[in-house]
């Protein structure tokens, strides 16, 4: 079954203040279940994308320069997620035809740019693995895509059983690391997910930290997992000249936080750091963007610490409005305690806007910054260290200025979203030119 969704209009996905990789798709094309893969069909339906010319046609020449031959690309992904729509939007803008196989979405997201399908398994009264494989086979017969790309690793092993080529997997973080740095799952799910990784023609990770974890998870060789960072949109996140007096002299220093208000993102440690910061510099404001289950508890904590008068809980903010709020910030704080924090896009967004960062040295966060050049790193769960780092930036305006300039240059070099997405587009083209056999393990 299928319907359509406008990628551009839906690009904000779930809405609210966010950072990439910090959420798990709720359920999707990817719903998991346990069953033996025995008796699953091992041949794919007639399809495109085998790396061979179609009968009676000339081989397609896939260019890797400014323009790539039009491709039909199919995502296996939760269609409600921000990054899924970013990829779809980029590829449709490049002239490709994009389909998403995932969960149904709300009517207001329907349009004519990207078609969304969901696996209709109701007509197949068999084990889950068999049902999903037959349902995907039916869709692929209809769509005949060139590329099949799973965004977020699940136990949906149907592409493997169907021998679709080329088939790619992008791991996002929690699919490998879970919520505490080590995913907990049953042996059947682990087997199927490992099978998907080992048989994929390319496995992509957003950071070196996540790539290493993925290799450990599935016992893969180093060259089997490549790093393709998501990055940020430099047109959306760019420095905004500040009007008025320099912060720290006649205007308060604004300290910002952008994340969900959940335990793993460590906002409580920023709140505990505020009294120490305020003792040295009373003229501060703390702006918190985001919502979550801890909001009431954190507001109570701010009151108990007697800092409510300088802390503003702004609530959920649509992602396209985040730059406007960040433009008012002088220092960005990312106090994550999340062992599965694979990268830290919020810190990259801040640097893109020329905002110095204070972040915790945990998991993949150090890859998102240049320590002592664009950010100061502190141990997690250490409000005193956090306070000292913020005070250092408040008192050293020259350091803030140099970090601002270097941060923007760093993101332009490494984490500009469109060139990074173009690398994936070029990878598609290479795989279609000569679909390599998968190297097991």
User: Hey, which of 80-84, 174-178, 276-280 has the most confident mean pLDDT?
Assistant: 276-280
- Better pLDDT: 132 or 44: 132
Residue among 355, 178, 103 at smallest CA distance from 253: 355
Whole-angstrom distance, CA of residue 219 vs CA of residue 204: 15
- Give the pLDDT confidence score for residue 319 in this predicted structure: 87
For position 15, what pLDDT does the model report? 31
**What is the predicted pLDDT for the residue at 25?**
34
Q: Is the pLDDT reported for residue 389 higher than 90? A: yes
Q: Does the pLDDT at position 36 exceed 90?
A: no
pLDDT for position 180: 65
pLDDT at 2: 40
With both helix axes pointing from N to C terminus, report the angle between 417-433 and 82-93 in degrees, rounded to the nearest 10.
70
188-191's contacts with Cβ under 8 Å and 24+ in sequence apart are: 188/34, 188/35, 188/36, 188/155, 189/32, 189/34, 189/155
CATH topology of 2-231+418-433 equal to that of 253-415?
yes
Q: Are 312 and 285 in contact (CB under 8 A)?
A: yes
- Is a pLDDT exceeding 80 seen at residue 212? yes
Residue 47 has pLDDT above 70, yes or no: no
Residue 428 has pLDDT above 50, yes or no: yes
What is the average pLDDT across 313-336? Answer: 95
Average pLDDT value for the chain:
82
Name the nearest CA neighbour of 114 among 133, 101, 127: 101
Among the ranges given (11-25, 86-100, 287-301, 342-356), the one the predictor scored with the smallest mean pLDDT: 11-25
Q: How many C-beta atoms surround the C-beta of residue 295 within 10 A?
A: 18
pLDDT in tens, 358-377: 999 999 999 999 999 999 99
- pLDDT range class, residue 248, cuts 50, 70, 90: low
Specify the CATH architecture of the domain 2-231+418-433.
3-Layer(aba) Sandwich (3.40)
pLDDT at 110: 52
Q: Give the pLDDT mean for 309-313.
A: 97
Q: What is the largest CA-CA distance in the chain?
A: 78
The answer to whether 404 and 352 are in contact (CB under 8 A) is no
Q: 48-67 burial, b for 16+ CB within 10 Å, e for fewer?
A: bbbeeeeeeeeeeebeeeee
Q: How confident is the model at residue 104 (pLDDT cuts 50, 70, 90)?
A: low
Question: Is it the case that residue 67 has pLDDT exceeding 70?
Answer: no
Q: What's the predicted TM-score (pTM) here?
A: 0.80
pLDDT-based confidence at 438, cuts 50/70/90?
Answer: very low
Angle at 145 between CA 141 and CA 150, to 5 degrees: 105
Residue 84 has a pLDDT of 86
Average pLDDT over residues 144-148: 97
Average pLDDT over every residue of 400-407? 97
% of the chain residues with pLDDT over 90: 63
Going by pLDDT thresholds of 50, 70 and 90, the confidence category of residue 109 is low
The residue written with tokens 């002592």 in the block is: 372
Report whether pLDDT(336) > 80: yes
pLDDT band for 27, please (50, 70, 90 cuts).
very low
User: Quick one: CA dihedral 120, 20, 155, 51, positive or negative?
Assistant: positive
Helix (H, G, I), strand (E, B) or coil at 342: coil
Q: Which of 68-77, 256-265, 384-393 has the lowest mean pLDDT?
A: 68-77
CA 301: distance to chain centroid?
30
Q: Architecture of domain 253-415 in CATH?
A: 3-Layer(aba) Sandwich (3.40)
User: pLDDT grade, residue 351 (50/70/90)?
Assistant: very high
Reported as half-sphere exposure (CB side, CA atoms, 13 A), residue 384 has a value of 0
Mean pLDDT lowest for which of 38-42, 68-72, 271-275, 427-431? 38-42
Q: What is the mean pLDDT of residues 90-98?
A: 93
Domain boundaries, the chain: 2-231+418-433, 253-415
Q: According to the model, what pLDDT value does residue 75 have?
A: 95
64 pLDDT above the threshold of 70: no
Report residue 26's pLDDT band, with 50, 70 and 90 as the boundaries: very low
Banded pLDDT at 86 (limits 50, 70, 90): confident
> What is the pLDDT confidence band of residue 63, given thresholds at 50, 70 and 90?
very low
CA 229/CA 235 separation, integer angstroms:
17
Q: Give the residue with greater pLDDT, 18 vs 208.
A: 208
Question: What pLDDT digit, counting tens, does each position of 219-239 carry?
Answer: 999 999 999 998 899 999 999
């Amino acid at each position: 079954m299928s319907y359509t969704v406008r990628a551009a209009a839906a690009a904000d996905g779930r809405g609210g203040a966010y950072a990439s990789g910090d959420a798990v798709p709720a359920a999707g094309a990817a719903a998991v279940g346990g069953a033996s893969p025995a008796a699953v069909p091992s041949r794919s339906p007639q399809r495109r994308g085998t790396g061979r010319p179609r009968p009676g046609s000339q081989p397609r020449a896939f260019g890797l320069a400014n323009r790539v031959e039009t491709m039909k690309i199919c995502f296996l992904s939760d269609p409600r997620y921000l990054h899924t729509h970013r990829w779809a939007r980029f590829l449709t803008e490049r002239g490709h035809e994009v389909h998403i196989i995932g969960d149904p979405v709300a009517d207001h997201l329907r349009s004519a740019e990207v078609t969304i399908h969901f696996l209709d398994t109701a007509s197949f009264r068999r084990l889950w693995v068999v049902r999903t494989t037959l349902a995907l086979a039916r869709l692929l017969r209809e769509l005949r895509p060139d590329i099949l790309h799973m965004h977020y690793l699940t136990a949906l092993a149907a592409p493997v059983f169907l021998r679709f080529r080329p088939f790619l997997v992008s791991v996002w973080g929690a699919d490998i690391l879970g919520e505490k740095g080590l995913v907990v799952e049953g042996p059947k799910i682990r087997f199927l997910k490992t099978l998907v990784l080992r048989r994929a023609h390319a496995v992509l990770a957003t950071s070196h930290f996540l790539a290493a974890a993925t290799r450990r998870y599935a016992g893969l060789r180093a060259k089997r997992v490549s790093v393709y960072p998501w990055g940020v949109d430099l047109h959306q996140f760019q420095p905004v000249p500040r009007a008025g007096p320099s912060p720290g002299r006649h205007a308060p220093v604004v300290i910002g936080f952008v994340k969900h208000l959940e335990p793993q993102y460590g906002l409580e440690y920023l709140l505990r750091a505020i009294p120490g910061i305020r003792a040295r510099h009373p003229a501060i404001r703390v702006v918190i963007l985001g919502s979550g289950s801890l909001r009431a508890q954190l507001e109570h904590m701010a009151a108990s610490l007697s800092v409510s008068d300088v802390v503003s809980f702004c609530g959920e903010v649509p992602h396209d409005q985040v730059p406007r709020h960040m433009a008012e910030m002088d220092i960005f704080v990312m106090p994550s305690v999340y062992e599965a924090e694979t990268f830290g896009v919020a810190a990259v967004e801040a640097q893109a806007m020329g905002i110095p960062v204070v972040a915790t040295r945990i998991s993949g966060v150090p890859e998102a910054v240049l320590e002592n050049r664009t950010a100061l790193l502190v141990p997690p769960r250490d409000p005193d260290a956090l306070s000292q780092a913020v005070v250092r930036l408040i008192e050293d305006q020259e350091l803030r200025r140099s970090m601002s300039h270097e941060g923007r240059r760093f993101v332009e070099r490494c984490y500009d979203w469109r060139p990074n997405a173009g690398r994936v587009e070029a990878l598609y083209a290479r795989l279609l030119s000569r679909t390599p056999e998968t190297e097991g393990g």
